[in-house]
Amino acid sequence: MNERRREQRLPWVSMDARIKVRKGLIGSAWVDVEVVDYNRLGIGIIAADDLLKPDSKVQVSLRLNTEVGEITVDQVTASVRHSQTDEHGYFFGLEFEKTPSEGVSESLQRIEGILNRHQGLAEKVQ
């Protein structure tokens, strides 16, 4: 079949993230956040509320959706390394724990690899 598109389309990629925050003395809840940037060592997120304190620990859940499937990290511990407020909300820079389980580490690396390939394709098309 002949390609009729005026420009090449990129593979579809979407990343979802949630953080687990304390609610009250003993409760907790998962909150959706927006992913700003990512690598296998950490993630930048934007939240609607000031949920995290610098140097605190947080549980992060990740899902990378692609047109051929998804890669998930059910839970990985991260440290809050940076926070600031801007016009988009509250930005947090999180660093993943240095020694996650082997399965979590592999998933974090796979996500980074797919995002790098996707970015490379996007740059070639432009």
- Look at the alpha carbons of 70, 42, 106, 111 in this order and tell me if their dihedral is positive or negative: positive
Q: Is 4 helix (H, G, I), strand (E, B) or coil?
A: coil
CATH value at residue 71: 2.40.10.220
Check residue 122 and give its pLDDT. 74
pLDDT in tens, 60-85: 999 999 888 899 999 999 999 999 99
Looking at the predicted structure, is the pLDDT value of residue 3 above 70? Answer: no
Q: Which helix (H) or strand (E) element contains residue 71? A: strand 69-86
In a domain, 5, yes or no: no
Helices (DSSP H) in 1-126: which residue ranges? 102-125
- Average pLDDT for 44-63: 94
Q: What pTM, to 2 d.p., does this model score?
A: 0.83
The whole domain housing 39 covers 13-125
Instruction: Report residue 55 as tokens.
Output: 């140097």
Q: How many domains does the chain have?
A: 1
Please give the Cα distance from 52 to 93 (Å, whole number).
10
Looking at the predicted structure, is the pLDDT value of residue 5 above 80? Answer: no
